Amino acid sequence: MTTPTVRRSGNQLRQPKQPRKTSTLSLSSRRVAAWVAEITLCVVSGAVPFGIGGYINTKTNIERVPLNPVLVAAERTVAYPLALPISYGTRNVAWPTNFLWTVAILAPLSLTCWQWYLLGKTGSTIPKGWFGIKVVNQKGQPPGFGAVLLREGSRWGVPMSVTYMLWRYTLLFPHLSIFTLLALLMLFAEAMGFPWLRQGRSIHDRIADTYTIDATIPFEPSVLANPRNLSGWMHRDEEAAIESIVVTPQQQQKKDLWAWMRRNPSLTLLGVALLSMAGVLTTLVGTQVYLQNRQNQKAVNQNNSKQFLALKQQLDDNSGATKQQRQRTIVALGTLKDSQATKFLVGLLGKENDPVLLETIQQALVSIGPSAISELKHMNILLEGELDSTASNATQEKELRQKSLYANQQAINKILLVYNGKTNGIDLSRAKLSQYEGSGNNSIFSLSLDKVDLWGIDFKYANLDRASFSGSRFRGPGEDGRWDTYDDWITDLSQAELKQANLSRANLSRVLMVRTNLSGANLNEANLLAARLVGANLSSARLGRADLRGAVLENASLTGADLGEAKLNDADLYGARLGRTIAIGTQLSNANLIKTEWQGADLSSAYLDRANLSNANLSAARLTGAILSSTNLSYANLSNADLSLADLRGANLTGADFQGTILSPAQQNPADQFVDTPAARTQSAVVKGVDFSQVKNLDEKQKAYICTQGGIHNRFCP
């Protein structure tokens, strides 16, 4: 009976030496390695589907659908705290991309939850098992789900909160590289227990009352009862070890708040009583302040109401007031800053016929400021509806309403002009701010807001035909004063009418113009960087030298538009209609031009390198001197197109239709020797090394040109 006992005792004595045989790394190193492995698994689980989805979205011809609302919400949730620009509106992506990007969000979350489940159930995740470490509670058992949530929440919450506060409210903002570096340093310091505080355990282990031990060493719960034995399982510094030896269980118990409260009931009751009294006093004071503020506001409102009624009586038709007195009364109403006064002035503006008094009313509304816009917009929509419903033979009544609408529009114009840059949040959706059809010469309105900051206004469905916004800005830096961050003030021009509007040199970057009618508009040199023009009508619009890099013009109509020297690099024009477009020297590098229609368009000297023109219709298009290197022209219709002097090196021509396509700079008699166009310096670069083997409808003349100019064709070229 004694022999087995001796053997077990001998095994226990030899056990502390086992870690040296199983691993050459210290426990601290293995903890860091396991943590890095856990993070890497989560990142890879999201990065792989995200990367594949991005590749499919840019390189394949697949049906496009609106972005998943979950993805939109996730994008904004991440962008807001990190001051990143967000994509306003709902953009379209390939349907596999929609699915894969959703997986890219759900996979890391699912993997994280699974790792936490394993940690609470077994005390070890898969990476922790690889490196032979385990998390236990004071009894040496798996910590459980509550402790794991507390442990992991503090592990990330404490260092990330400190990092964010240091970054967000210092000169380090908004540099993300510095934020990332600070976050990594803080996470590492927390994992090591902030060594400069001379703590041996990690902060999250102390908060959750857990221990990270070496799983390769047989462990008994009694080990944790004697801290001097923990050196074999845990990394502790010298001071922490001495503290564990010196501090007795009775001394540790004294530090427990609950035990102290039980030993000192009188002091505990006194503290509770004081806290309760402070809470009651705070509540009473707060309630009194609130009631006093309400009473003061009520008194102010009553005083304003009395003044309003007194001033209103002076404007009655039976008051006998002179024009000068009426003017002074109107000005006084504008200083009240009262909603009743604003509503009365807007109504008076629609009834008054005297030009002098109309001007005075408009000045009073301008003094009220942007808060008057709401009432003016309501009256604007009402007057437009009355005009539309008025019989065509009621000439006098129609003219009166036109004059009222004209005065209303002028007031809105003046407020927007005076309060330049203070327009964020103004709602002018569905307002009519253009001249009414059939207006007389005395009531022709033209909205004029040149070089004005109009950011943050809601112009959705508004009628802004023939308006002038030359040099104006429709996007502001937001409250943080920085451009391209989450809180930028963005104007919404979706489905607005802007026919023949002047937007030259305007800043429309990132502005929403979904299904907006911009036909015939002047957008020369406008900044449309990353603007959203999905389904917009830009027929016959002028976009010379406009910056449309990264803009989204899916299914937009640009028929007959002038795109001369415009920048459309990386733009998305999927399914756009560009027939008879003038795009001389236009930059379309890396643009998405799948299923676009370019019939009869002039793309001379355009830059189309690396663009995706698969299934595009380029019939009868002029592409003389165009750069088409590495362009995807698979299954494109190039019938009767002029490709003379175009650079096709590296282009994908699989399935492209070349019926009647011009490849040589000058037409020649087929009976003559075809290769009589010697400018080898310019000719050799056109089709040299280009594979025409899968091109459709090549005639003999084209085959001869291809073979003699260095092109490739499996059946015809030697």
Whole-structure pTM over 0.85, yes or no? no
Distance CA 171, CA 182 (A): 14
DSSP-assigned letters across all residues of 458-514? B-TT-B-TT-B-TT-B-EE-TTTT-SSSTT-EE-B-TT-B-TT-B-TT-B-TT-B-T
Whether residue 666 has pLDDT greater than 70: no
According to the model, what pLDDT value does residue 598 have? Answer: 97
- Secondary structure string (H, E, C) spanning 582-603: ECCCCECCCCECCCCECCCCEC
Whether residue 177 has pLDDT greater than 60: yes
Residues whose CB falls within 8 Å of the CB of residue 309, separated by 6 or more in sequence, listed in order: none
According to the model, what pLDDT value does residue 288 have? Answer: 80
Report the range of poorest mean pLDDT among 190-194, 514-518, 634-638.
190-194
Phi (first) and psi of residue 550, to 5 degrees: 70, 5
**Contact assessment for residue 143 and residue 135, using Cβ atoms and an 8 Å cutoff:** yes
pLDDT, tens digit (0-9, with 9 covering 90-100), for 256-309: 667 777 777 778 888 888 888 888 888 888 888 888 788 777 777 777 777 778
Distance CA 42, CA 707 (A): 53
pLDDT, tens digit (0-9, with 9 covering 90-100), for 470-503: 999 999 988 877 787 777 899 999 999 999 999 9
Beta bridge partners of 93: 65
Closest CA to 562 of 550, 578, 551, 577: 578
Mean pLDDT value of segment 149-174:
85
Report the range of poorest mean pLDDT among 304-308, 511-515, 580-584.
304-308
pLDDT, tens digit (0-9, with 9 covering 90-100), for 190-201: 777 665 555 557
**Contact assessment for residue 707 and residue 716, using Cβ atoms and an 8 Å cutoff:** yes
pLDDT, tens digit (0-9, with 9 covering 90-100), for 521-550: 999 999 999 999 999 999 999 999 999 999
DSSP-assigned letters across all residues of 661-714? -B-SSS---TTS-S-----HHHHHHHHTT-B-TT-BS--HHHHHHHHHTT-B-T
According to the model, what pLDDT value does residue 227 have? Answer: 44
Q: Identify the band that residue 187 occupies on the pLDDT scale cut at 50, 70 and 90.
A: confident
Q: Tokens representing 516?
A: 């907006």
Distance CA 509, CA 263 (A): 68
Q: Identify the band that residue 89 occupies on the pLDDT scale cut at 50, 70 and 90.
A: low
Residue 199 backbone zone (phi > 0: left; psi -120 to 50: alpha; other: beta): beta
Compute the Cα dihedral for 540, 544, 546, 548 and give only its sign. Answer: positive
According to the model, what pLDDT value does residue 676 have? Answer: 41
Radius of gyration of the chain from Cα atoms?
37
Distance CA 408, CA 345 (A): 11
Q: Tokens representing 623?
A: 């592409």
Q: Tokens representing 673?
A: 């020797």
Is residue 627 exposed (0-12), middle (13-18) or buried (19+ Cβ within 10 Å)?
Answer: buried
E strand or H helix that includes residue 434: none
| Dihedral angle, C-alpha 500, 505, 506, 508, nearest 10 ° | 100
According to the model, what pLDDT value does residue 540 have? Answer: 96
Please report the beta strands in 221-377, taking only residues with DSSP state E, as ranges in sequence order: none
State the Cα angle at 252 between 249 and 257, rounded to 5°: 135
According to the model, what pLDDT value does residue 579 have? Answer: 95
If you search the block for the tokens 């840019």, which residue do you land on?
58
According to the model, what pLDDT value does residue 448 have? Answer: 94
Q: Identify the band that residue 222 occupies on the pLDDT scale cut at 50, 70 and 90.
A: low
List Cα–Cα distances, 596 to 91, 469, 520, 622, in angstroms: 18, 30, 21, 15
**Contact assessment for residue 214 and residue 132, using Cβ atoms and an 8 Å cutoff:** yes
Q: How many CB atoms lie within 10 A of CB 201?
A: 19
According to the model, what pLDDT value does residue 224 have? Answer: 54
Report the range of poorest mean pLDDT among 195-199, 266-270, 461-465, 712-716.
195-199
In the chain, what percentage of residues exceed pLDDT 70?
84
DSSP-assigned letters across all residues of 536-571? -B-TT-B-TT-B-TT-B-TT-B-TT-B-TT-B-TT-
Closest CA to 330 of 308, 309, 361, 307: 361
Mean pLDDT comparison of 128-142, 171-185, 224-238, 633-647, highest-scoring range: 633-647
Q: Specify the 3-state DSSP secondary structure of 28.
A: helix
| Dihedral angle, C-alpha 499, 502, 506, 509, nearest 10 ° | 10
Distance CA 325, CA 300 (A): 25
Q: Tokens representing 353?
A: 């016929």
